[in-house]
């Protein structure tokens, strides 16, 4: 009974103030609240998150979709101040119909001397930024934000097309009260698809409406209203480890237009499938039209292919040529931005400019090449057929031995090594006739890190020796990008700081030779890696390569662990023991695996005279571990960490 009373009091405390959600009606209680009652770690919280999406009839424009947003956010901690920097992306191409964001207004409220002080958002603090040819941003900097502040913002979005943007119920911060309402006239049929692991209370109802054309010419119709309400919705932060895109797992609803039937008009069916979507994309002059253009590179291609007889030689020559010829401007797109001719001439373009150009050149070389549509991680997983499901394109060449995926936007990539952002579920291959099929984007070959560490341990507990690391595939790609961004001195400092060692003769081989693994090598010296207690020496077999902490700390996990690609970490350590010491005990060997061969680990240790050899091999065979195996994965890492931190015990002979 006592627990019930406490729970009632807590719930009453959470909901007993801030009941007036009208814009501008912020209370002292809201401003005085020191922390979010259900999560003391929360830096901020939505006190109120309101959305209303409805159809408005305009005599000149017809139906328009309008979304009204009203949000009230409480800042609890210094780290939450960033919530006052608000970004609104919207569709705004150079030509054609555009989405608009209007009526932006906001206030920041602070409690000073027991009084509420309000500061209005200035128009000068609202900025427009063109992120790409199609997407613009409204960037809003709320004024005078401090710990304890409440900020409030509202605005309208007007869509010139029949698309309802996704409803989102979860954010990086918790939500005290959520009210989302979608009003759809009977003339429009939408499918609703829930996503994520949280769903609020849903109520559906029908109300009567009327469109007036004047002079007594009115049309009655029915509006279908869906209302979503929720209280005390937990945060789902984007700092979760091994998650490609946390937005895929946040609670929400996606709306898909299926059909329309206006008065005195035929029923028009928009229900589609992926084949129809891909055919529509292929017909675009900015996609299929660009693939047909060949004259701009014709002479260069003839020169490039001279002496190339095999398919492999042709693919390599064209792929490397395009990577060097056109630099990626870091804009994603399935449609060209500049157009392939202009991108070729100017040497810069978006992902479609580059990879459609690549596909066209491969086809001109008589190779079976096709574009593959991709949704990047930031764009999410396309759950149902829609033109917005893809936002990127790569090239694919099919050979008798299998297929090769190519992405020329990344200068350090090699065949079948795409940008990490592009490895997201499956891609959709589109052929010349517009037909399409799914393609697995996850590489089959593991990306490997192979370390060879040779050390001598002194009786004073210092270590001295050399290390050689070999990187392949995505590990090599990551190191090449880092080695290009940083100077050699910065690479050395970073390595010494990471491993707590001093290095000499540090070098990196094959940094620009993409056909070979990256090799990093150096000599090293270190202290404090050996413990001396009671005349005995305690040595961690893997030294600074040991995994000392389990990255999986949560008791449960509702969404998959996503490693992006299969990988392997292999450590071979040779330790020469100090003179006058012998081994009292060694860790035992270990071999273990996850169910379904998702991962396996081997730890082997062997003594030969005055030296010890350790082999540690961790193989992650699957890019994804589903939630049903999370606890097994967590325990797998518990055992791994325990094994890698066990000690070799040395005693004086």
pLDDT tens track for 275-284: 999 999 999 9
Domain match, 338 and 322 both: yes
Q: What tokens does 134 get?
A: 């199609």
The pLDDT of residue 88 is above 80: yes
DSSP secondary structure string for all residues of 10-66: HHHHHHSS----STT---HHHHH--S-TT-TT-SEEEEEEEEEEEEEEETTTEEEEE
Number of domain units in the chain:
3
Domain match, 297 and 213 both: no
Residues sharing a CB contact under 8 Å with residue 412, sequence separation 6 or more, in sequence order: 477, 480, 481, 484, 514
pLDDT confidence of residue 161: 81
Query: Of 415, 440, 465, at which residue does a domain stop?
Result: 440
pLDDT confidence of residue 213: 67
Task: Tell me the pLDDT band of 271, cut-offs 50, 70 and 90.
Answer: low
Q: Mean pLDDT across the stretch 318-328?
A: 97
Q: Which of 223, 157, 169, 248 is nearest to 201 (CA)?
A: 169
318-335: buried (b, 16+ CB within 10 Å) or exposed (e) per residue? bbebbbebbebbebbbbb
The CATH number linked to 629 is: 2.60.120.1130
Q: What pTM does this model have?
A: 0.86
Task: Tell me the pLDDT band of 216, cut-offs 50, 70 and 90.
Answer: low
Domain match, 424 and 515 both: no
Domain match, 401 and 353 both: yes
Q: Mean pLDDT across the stretch 376-394?
A: 88
Task: Tell me the pLDDT band of 615, cut-offs 50, 70 and 90.
Answer: very high
pLDDT confidence of residue 104: 97
pLDDT confidence of residue 197: 87
CA distances, 365 to each of 104, 314, 341, 368, 481 (Å): 53, 7, 18, 9, 31
Domain match, 186 and 210 both: yes
Query: Of 248, 268, 288, at which residue does a domain stop?
Result: 268
Beta bridge partners of 614: 573, 605
The dihedral sign for the CA sequence 3, 4, 5, 11:
positive
User: How many residues does this entry show for the chain?
Assistant: 653
Domain match, 311 and 184 both: no
The pLDDT of residue 243 is above 80: yes
Mapping DSSP onto H, E and C, the string for 228-249 reads EEEEEECCCCCCCCCCCCHHHH
Domain match, 252 and 290 both: no
User: Quick check: 172 and 238 in contact, CB under 8 A?
Assistant: yes
pLDDT confidence of residue 298: 96
409-420: buried (b, 16+ CB within 10 Å) or exposed (e) per residue? bbebbbebbbbb
Residues sharing a CB contact under 8 Å with residue 12, sequence separation 6 or more, in sequence order: none
SS3 of residue 149 by DSSP: coil
pLDDT confidence of residue 378: 87
Domain match, 415 and 552 both: no
What value does the mean pLDDT of the chain take?
A: 92
Range in 43-47, 234-238, 451-455, 586-590 the model is least confident about: 234-238
Domain match, 138 and 7 both: yes
pLDDT confidence of residue 7: 41
Task: Compute φ and ψ for 82, nearest 5 degrees.
Answer: -60, -20
Q: Cβ–Cβ contacts within 10 Å for residue 597, how many?
A: 10
Share of the chain above pLDDT 90, in %: 81
Domain match, 458 and 428 both: no
Query: Of 440, 461, 492, at which residue does a domain stop?
Result: 440
The pLDDT of residue 12 is above 50: no
pLDDT digits (tens, 9 = 90+) for 502-543: 999 999 999 999 999 999 999 999 998 999 998 899 999 999
pLDDT confidence of residue 214: 62
User: Quick check: 474 and 447 in contact, CB under 8 A?
Assistant: yes
SS3 of residue 137 by DSSP: strand
Share of the chain above pLDDT 70, in %: 96
Task: Tell me the pLDDT band of 215, cut-offs 50, 70 and 90.
Answer: low
CA distances, 630 to each of 244, 633, 637 (Å): 16, 5, 11
Residues 304 and 314: their CA atoms lie apart, in Å, by 9
Task: Tell me the pLDDT band of 361, cut-offs 50, 70 and 90.
Answer: very high
Q: Mean pLDDT across the stretch 157-161?
A: 88
Task: Tell me the pLDDT band of 251, cut-offs 50, 70 and 90.
Answer: very high
The CATH number linked to 180 is: 2.60.40.3140
Beta bridge partners of 211: 219
CA distances, 218 to each of 66, 81, 188, 223 (Å): 22, 50, 19, 15
Domain match, 641 and 599 both: yes
Task: Tell me the pLDDT band of 5, cut-offs 50, 70 and 90.
Answer: very low
Domain match, 305 and 262 both: no
pLDDT confidence of residue 40: 93
The CATH number linked to 357 is: 3.10.620.30
Residues 620 and 566: their CA atoms lie apart, in Å, by 5
Q: What residue numbers bound the domain in which 633 lies?
A: 447-652
Q: What tokens does 652 get?
A: 């004086």
């Amino acid at each position: 009974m006592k627990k019930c009373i406490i729970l009632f009091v807590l719930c009453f405390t959470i909901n007993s103030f801030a009941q007036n959600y009208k814009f501008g009606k912020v209370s002292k209680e809201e401003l005085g609240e020191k922390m979010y009652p259900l999560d003391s770690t929360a830096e901020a919280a939505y006190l109120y998150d309101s959305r209303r999406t409805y159809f408005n009839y305009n005599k000149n424009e017809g139906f328009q979709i309008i979304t009204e947003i009203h949000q009230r956010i409480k800042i609890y901690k210094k780290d939450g101040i960033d919530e006052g920097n608000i970004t609104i992306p919207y569709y705004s191409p150079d030509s054609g119909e555009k989405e608009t964001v209007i009526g932006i207004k906001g206030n920041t409220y602070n409690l000073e001397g027991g009084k509420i002080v309000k500061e209005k958002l200035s128009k000068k603090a609202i900025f427009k930024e063109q992120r790409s040819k199609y997407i613009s941003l409204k960037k809003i900097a709320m004024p005078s934000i401090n710990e304890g502040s409440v900020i409030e913002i509202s605005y309208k979005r007007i869509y010139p097309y029949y698309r309802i943007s996704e409803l989102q119920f979860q954010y990086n911060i918790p939500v005290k009260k959520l009210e989302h309402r979608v009003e759809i006239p009977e003339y429009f049929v939408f499918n609703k698809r829930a996503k994520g692991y949280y769903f609020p209370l849903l109520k559906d109802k029908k109300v009567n409406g009327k469109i007036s054309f004047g002079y007594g010419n009115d049309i009655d119709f029915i509006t279908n209203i869906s209302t979503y309400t929720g209280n005390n919705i937990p945060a789902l932060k984007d700092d979760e480890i091994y998650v490609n895109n946390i937005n895929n797992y946040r609670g929400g609803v996606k709306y898909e237009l299926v059909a329309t039937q206006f008065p005195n008009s035929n029923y028009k069916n928009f229900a589609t499938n992926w084949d129809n979507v891909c055919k529509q994309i292929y017909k675009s002059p900015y996609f299929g039209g660009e693939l047909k253009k060949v004259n701009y590179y014709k002479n260069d291609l003839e020169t490039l292919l001279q002496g190339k007889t095999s398919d492999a030689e042709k693919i390599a020559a064209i792929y490397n040529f395009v990577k060097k010829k056109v630099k990626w401007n870091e804009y994603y797109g399935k449609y060209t931005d500049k157009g392939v001719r202009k991108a070729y001439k100017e040497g810069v373009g978006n992902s479609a400019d580059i990879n459609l150009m690549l596909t066209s050149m491969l086809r001109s070389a008589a190779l079976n090449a096709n574009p593959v549509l991709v949704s990047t991680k930031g764009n999410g997983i396309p759950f149902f057929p829609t033109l917005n499901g893809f936002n990127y394109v790569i090239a694919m060449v099919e050979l008798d031995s299998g297929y090769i995926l190519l992405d020329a936007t990344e200068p350090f990539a090699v065949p079948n090594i795409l940008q990490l952002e592009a490895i997201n579920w499956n891609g959709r291959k589109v052929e010349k006739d517009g037909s399409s099929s799914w393609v697995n984007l996850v590489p089959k070959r593991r990306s490997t890190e192979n370390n060879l560490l040779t050390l001598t341990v002194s009786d004073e507990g210092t270590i001295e020796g050399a290390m050689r690391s070999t990187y392949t595939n995505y590990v090599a790609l990551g190191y090449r990008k880092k080695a290009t961004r940083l100077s050699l001195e910065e690479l050395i400092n970073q390595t010494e700081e990471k491993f707590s060692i001093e290095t000499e003769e540090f070098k990196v081989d094959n940094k620009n030779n993409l056909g070979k693994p990256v090799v990093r090598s150096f000599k090293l010296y270190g202290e404090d890696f050996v413990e001396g207690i009671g005349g005995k020496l305690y040595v961690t077999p893997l030294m600074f390569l040991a995994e000392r902490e389990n990255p999986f700390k949560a008791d449960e996990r509702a969404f998959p662990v996503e490693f992006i690609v299969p990988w392997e970490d292999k450590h071979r350590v040779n330790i020469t023991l100090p003179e006058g010491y012998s081994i009292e005990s060694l860790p035992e060997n270990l071999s273990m695996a996850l169910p379904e061969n998702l991962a396996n680990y081997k730890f082997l240790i062997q003594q030969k005279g005055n030296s010890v050899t350790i082999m540690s091999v961790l193989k992650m065979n699957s890019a994804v571990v589903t939630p049903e195996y999370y606890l097994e994965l967590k325990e797998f890492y518990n055992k791994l960490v325990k094994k890698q931190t066990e000690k070799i015990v040395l005693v004086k002979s």
